[in-house]
A and B are shown apart, each in its own frame.
Chain A
Amino acid sequence: METSPIIIEDDAKTTNPVVSIDLTHSPVSKPKQTVDDMVVDSPYYSVKRTVTSIGGTRVSTTQKIKKEEAEEGTDLCYSKAKKPRMLSENDAEYVDYVKKEVVDGSEGEPVCRDSLSTRELLESCARYVDSVKEVFDGFEPVIDAEPISVYKSEEIESKPLTGISSNTLRASLKQEGSLQKEYDTVIDHKPKSVKPEKMDYEEAEQSKPLTGISSNTLRAPIKAEGSVLEGSVKKEYDVMDQKPKLVKPISSVPPHSGYNGLGLNKKGSGYNGSGLSKKGERVVEDRKVSMEGIEIGDFEEEVDWLLVGRTAITGLSTTKGRKLEDNEIVHFAFPNGEVRSKSGYWANSRGGSAACGIVRFSTKRSGEIGRLPMEWSKCLIPLVNSKKVKVLGRCVAAPPNLSMMQEIMLYISFYIHHSIFTEDGNCSWKLDSPSNIDTTIYPLLTLFKLLKKSPFQKAEFTPEELDSRKRAVTLENDLNEAASVLPSAKGRKPLLIEPNKDAQVLTESSLNKLVGAADMYNLEEMDPPTTLTCDLRPYQKQALFWMTESEKGVDVEKAEETLHPCWAAYRICDERATAIYVNIFSGEATTKFPKATQMARGGILADAMGLGKTVMTISLILARPHKGIGENENELIEDNRSHERNISRRPQGGTLIVCPMALLSQWKDELETHSSPDSISVFVHYGGDRSTDPKVISEPTVVLTTYGVLSASYKSFGENSIFQKVDWYRVVLDEAHTIKSSRSQGAQAAFALSSYYRWCLTGTPLQNNLEDLYSLLCFLHVEPWCNWAWWNKLIQKPYDNGDKRGLKLVKAILRPLMLRRTKDTKDKEGRPILVLPPTDIQIIECEQSEAEHDFYDALFKRSKVQFDQFVAQGKVLHNYANILELLLRLRQCCNHPFLVMSRGDSQQFTDLNKLARRFLDNNLDSSAPNPSKAYIQEVVNDIKNGENTECPICLESADDPVLTPCAHRMCRECLLSSWRSLSHGLCPICRQDLRKTDLITCPSDSKFRVDVEKNWKESSKVLKLLECLDNIRKKGCGEKSIVFSQWTSFLDLLEIPLKRRNIGFLRFDGSLSQKNREKTLKEFSETTDKMVLLMSLKAGGVGLNLTAASNVFLLDPWWNPAVEEQAIMRIHRIGQKRTVCVRRFIVKDTVEERMQQVQARKQRMIAGALTDEEVRSARLEELKMLFR
């Protein structure tokens, strides 16, 4: 055995490093495979270390090394493959070169470190190194391999003992490869702020000491070429002399951190191992340990601490000449995190940050011995400082003489405190609040990784997986398709949609692709409660079953046995806890199996429109009408609010249903008609004289209110609002997409409701984008997705970046949470769950009359000229609104030319001479100073030439312009709104007093109406419609029709022929008050003579039931087919008894026909895959298409 050239200060006998092993509690079961097996069977076994690289390559055995040594002699210390590796795992480390041979190694490129630099050098680079080091901390750790196995002594006894640095493996190429992969997450991983804590040295350790082999034979002095240290012993001393510089900062660590860190001059005294207990310490071997004060022995098993695992770690000596025995217990000193945070000075001071992140170890008798490698320090510091993790260790391979930077093999046991696991599964152990969720790897998880513990049950999603962009994931086709359904953030602006933000953008089929539909049709059916007075269809009974089970907390899909997707399961060494579960998102840990059901009680009932969500919900309420605490829920509720209840008894409410105002009466009616009398009480909390006493609304079984009332109340009273004061049994949000913007008052108010069960009813859980869903998940309290940071990081961002995994995750989240069926969903027998009369959809192509066509053509040419101008100037997208306006005119012209004429571009209304005459006549008897004739002539000429001047008030080209007697032109609306009185006011230009009657419309709306009445002429489209209506009337079977148009002005026009032909009709549009809407709808369903309902496409609102009609006429195509689809749904739904005839009217060879193409193209277009630029060009394409 070579002795180190370093002079040993202490005259203690150098002990033979031959292994001393404690065997007592050896749990060896598998002789050589795992880390745990490092525990050896009997004392004095010699140990052969087999180091395995990540690839499973066994690297070295004693014997081989010996051989190599013989061959290469002193050169052994050189790396064979000189793979420079500037960033070794530790800064300023003395590096051993170890020659090793790959035994079965395919990947056996000898791996060595040859980065040598003086401590000083590295010291000066400390901060840099430190920063880079973070990268390495995320390594699939070095110790990843099973580092050591122990062989029977007979085998090896005779062989010289060799120690091999496990560090030799550290630079494996493979790891470098993995570095890239890990990079993203690792770089984020900063040590948490650590609390000051004294390392608890009193803990005895239960693990057995482990022998390591320390052999200096291979530990030749450094001679690496290019190295500052080049093999000189003297140099080494130099380095040591500089040592105080390095550790200086440490000395400022508050003394209770255990060490003052200055090992060099205070040897033996620097260690402040106060109260070191030796209970349970047993001297196993005293042949070698003859010295007083050597601390060896067992660590005692403790009730509170669970052994996670053990591993060998190679520490590095920071002192020279200290004594260290094999098997000697080492104590760890963890830096006090506060030192760093308290003063910026530290962070800035040289090496300060590096020093703070160092875990040092010492022995009781010698004081500081060395330090742990960085990647371990990084991980351990926050853990230990959290007081939830304990680390005990001993030296297993003590070099006979300690010299600087020498490797010291330690065997370390890790324990977690049982308190991190909570009993009831509501566990929480968070190192700190997950506000900084960039730390996607939590220390505990890192620890598992370092210990090479992989979960035996993996979490369904991992942050890394979702995070890493490098990992290409191939997914099923449907996901690829689905991704294309929603526009991405970049292309989120819907293509070519008229500026109507509320338009539903997703079609039903797209929605199905996105959120999945109806893979649950083999749900059990549940018989409705007797108090329900109507029959449920089978699929509704299934929904009742699903909802009931969801409320009971038993998921239909056996979520009971399903691991919550966010959790991973690990086995630890302690027998007392077979498995522990770690939430890979929040870092929470528990010993209780986290079931998928623990997520949320309630869910999203997202059946498509018309399947009867209301009735299903009513049956649920009747089946489980409990108020406040029910029998089953007792326990559950206890969990949740035992503490709350101790403080104050809040009123326990029943079911709160929040719905849009329009549906309030419908809910009330349905609740009352579908439940047997006296089974439930319904209270409507709406209107002027609302009570503010929570008791009032906590009494009835069901309370109905609107989003408006809820948010208004929340706005004024916040947490003290009447709704928030009640502990609801169940909250149901009808048309839950109302709260799709999570920051809105309404959404916030809904989130703040206290309830045991939460339900969202919506046919469109997603309307425009994925974020809509986030709000629902917030309301449902679905962890962790109701945390915006998580949602954004793992779903929204990947999704926006076109990463399909975002969507995959959404699907997985929704699977247990959402029930969605459509009318096409099939039941077990493959029959549709809902049999509705068929729909007969036809497109009626209209051909324009010659006159009509000429008019259209003229208008089109004019518009095209303008459009081409925009194109030529490259200003198409800047003039988007103008272009839409041009298109609007063209589309209106397809309906009826009159619609366009009212805008004043037709010959008929530009009879300007007449206009001028009228104008001059008007002025004759005016007392006001007349504008000069010349001026008037000029104005009239302007009008004649179609020069629409800018309105002086809105600065736009005047819309519905009027001429004042003083010959000023402006928008009528602008002028009138500038007046204080309705009938008169000043001219904004010349301040002349004007009467409203003096205004001359150029050309005027009123005139248009008169002319329309007088000169009524059907357009081809109107003619076709009238034909259709006539046919229906002739059939005489009392079919009713609904006529949709997007322009109320067109509905106005339609009234003329309907009246003339004595076709009774009703009118429903946005101008109707809520009361009149109900009245109109009621009248329509009951009447026998008003068979036609003129309806504006957008006024329908939500939830209308128009099943009285069976004919649908869509007179003009809308940009977005989904809106049309929705209109049809109003008629084609439960209760419809006839075949629904849908007729779309399209005028041939016009913009309408091309719009159809755009619609189709739009559905094909992979919006999600388009960049901003592409979307822009696509829009341009579409526009060009329209003007072709």
Chain B
Amino acid sequence: MANSNLPRRIIKETQRLLSEPAPGISASPSEDNMRYFNVMILGPTQSPYEGGVFKLELFLPEEYPMAAPKVRFLTKIYHPNIDKLGRICLDILKDKWSPALQIRTVLLSIQALLSAPNPDDPLSENIAKHWKSNEAEAVETAKEWTRLYASGA
């Protein structure tokens, strides 16, 4: 059973996430696997993703919190640091992970990443190029995608 040996930290975090959710973010654990979270992030205001509801999945590996959670966008998104599989290029999810970080902080970071795309450290080359060459157009595309894929879902 995946849930029988859930570390107390995960339980605590989950409880806190549920009782005091971060604004614009909801994360709830799956019923059959408490290490698996269904996440929704609202597109930050003043970003191309405003108005979108983005679904993500988050999984806490066995080593968590000594290893970073695995997070992936499920909703298609046009973003230089997110590839078409939804994978996210974010340092704290990789080498800059610290056990003092939590699910909440990770999700807040991702929310922040939506507000501040970083085409200099791209995951999706094409989008990054697009972003760099014609930011306005790229932003339009991002808005369009948001409307297409992230609204009303």
Q: Which residues of A are interface residues toward B (Cβ below 8 A)?
A: 952-956, 970, 974, 977-978, 986, 988-989, 991
Residues of A within 8 A of B99 (CB): 952-953, 974, 978, 988
Closest to A980 in B: B66
Residues of B within 8 A of A974 (CB): 99
Q: Which residue from B66, B96, B100 sits with its C-beta under 8 Å from A952?
A: B100
Shortest distance in angstroms between B59's beta carbon and chain A's nearest beta carbon? 19
Given contacts A953-B65, A978-B66, contact A989 B8 (CB under 8 A): no
Residues of B within 8 A of A986 (CB): 98
In the docked arrangement, what's the CA distance between A955 and B7, Å? 11
Contact B100 A955 (CB under 8 A): no
**Listed residue (B65, B98, B99) with the most chain A CB atoms within 10 angstroms of its CB:** B99
Given contacts A955-B13, A988-B100, A989-B100, contact A977 B8 (CB under 8 A): no
How many residues of chain B are within 8 Å of chain A by beta carbon?
Answer: 12
Closest to B101 in A: A988
Other A-B pairs, 11, CB within 8 Å; known A953-B100, A991-B96: A954-B7, A954-B9, A955-B12, A956-B9, A974-B99, A978-B98, A978-B99, A986-B98, A988-B100, A989-B100, A991-B98
Shortest distance in angstroms between A405's beta carbon and chain B's nearest beta carbon? 57
Judged by DSSP, the binding face of A is loop
Closest to B66 in A: A978
Closest to A968 in B: B100
In the docked arrangement, what's the CA distance between A771 and B143, Å? 61
In the docked arrangement, what's the CA distance between A953 and B98, Å? 9
Shortest distance in angstroms between B133's beta carbon and chain A's nearest beta carbon? 34
Shortest distance in angstroms between B138's beta carbon and chain A's nearest beta carbon? 32
**Which B residues, 73 to 100, have Cβ-Cβ distances below 8 Å to chain A?**
96, 98-100
Q: What mask results when residues 5 to 32 of chain B are scored 1 for a CB within 8 Å of chain A, else 0?
A: 0011100110000000000000000000
Judged by DSSP, the binding face of B is loop
Shortest distance in angstroms between A681's beta carbon and chain B's nearest beta carbon? 44
Contact B98 A955 (CB under 8 A): no
Q: What mask results when residues 32 to 72 of chain B are scored 1 for a CB within 8 Å of chain A, else 0?
A: 00000000000000000000000000000000011000000
Contact B9 A955 (CB under 8 A): yes
Closest to A978 in B: B99
Closest to B65 in A: A953
Residues of B within 8 A of A978 (CB): 66, 98-99
Residues of A within 8 A of B65 (CB): 953
Shortest distance in angstroms between B9's beta carbon and chain A's nearest beta carbon? 5
Q: What mask results when residues 117 to 144 of chain B are scored 1 for a CB within 8 Å of chain A, else 0?
A: 0000000000000000000000000000
Shortest distance in angstroms between B47's beta carbon and chain A's nearest beta carbon? 27
Closest to A975 in B: B99
Shortest distance in angstroms between B85's beta carbon and chain A's nearest beta carbon? 29
Q: Which residue from A955, A970, A977 sits with its C-beta under 8 Å from B66?
A: A977
In the docked arrangement, what's the CA distance between A1028 and B13, Å? 51
Residues of B within 8 A of A977 (CB): 66
Residues of A within 8 A of B101 (CB): 988
Shortest distance in angstroms between A1088's beta carbon and chain B's nearest beta carbon? 48
Residues of B within 8 A of A956 (CB): 8-9
In the docked arrangement, what's the CA distance between A986 and B66, Å? 12
Q: List the 9 closest pairs (A to B, CB-CB), nearest first.
A: A988-B100, A952-B100, A988-B98, A978-B99, A953-B99, A955-B12, A955-B9, A988-B99, A989-B100
Contact B98 A954 (CB under 8 A): no
In the docked arrangement, what's the CA distance between A834 and B122, Å? 81
Shortest distance in angstroms between A470's beta carbon and chain B's nearest beta carbon? 38
**Listed residue (B7, B12, B66) with the most chain A CB atoms within 10 angstroms of its CB:** B66
Shortest distance in angstroms between A984's beta carbon and chain B's nearest beta carbon? 15
In the docked arrangement, what's the CA distance between A955 and B10, Å? 9
Shortest distance in angstroms between B93's beta carbon and chain A's nearest beta carbon? 15
Residues of A within 8 A of B9 (CB): 953-956
Residues of B within 8 A of A991 (CB): 96, 98
Closest to B96 in A: A991
Shortest distance in angstroms between A78's beta carbon and chain B's nearest beta carbon? 64
In the docked arrangement, what's the CA distance between A988 and B98, Å? 5
In the docked arrangement, what's the CA distance between A1124 and B142, Å? 70
Shortest distance in angstroms between B101's beta carbon and chain A's nearest beta carbon? 8
In the docked arrangement, what's the CA distance between A988 and B101, Å? 8
Closest to B13 in A: A955
In the docked arrangement, what's the CA distance between A953 and B8, Å? 11
Closest to B7 in A: A954
**Listed residue (B7, B9, B12, B100) with the most chain A CB atoms within 10 angstroms of its CB:** B100
In the docked arrangement, what's the CA distance between A991 and B100, Å? 10
Residues of A within 8 A of B98 (CB): 978, 986, 988-989, 991
In the docked arrangement, what's the CA distance between A955 and B9, Å? 6
Shortest distance in angstroms between A879's beta carbon and chain B's nearest beta carbon? 13
Shortest distance in angstroms between A966's beta carbon and chain B's nearest beta carbon? 12
Shortest distance in angstroms between B54's beta carbon and chain A's nearest beta carbon? 27
Residues of A within 8 A of B96 (CB): 991
Q: What mask results when residues 98 to 123 of chain B are scored 1 for a CB within 8 Å of chain A, else 0?
A: 11110000000000000000000000
Shortest distance in angstroms between B94's beta carbon and chain A's nearest beta carbon? 14
Shortest distance in angstroms between A674's beta carbon and chain B's nearest beta carbon? 44
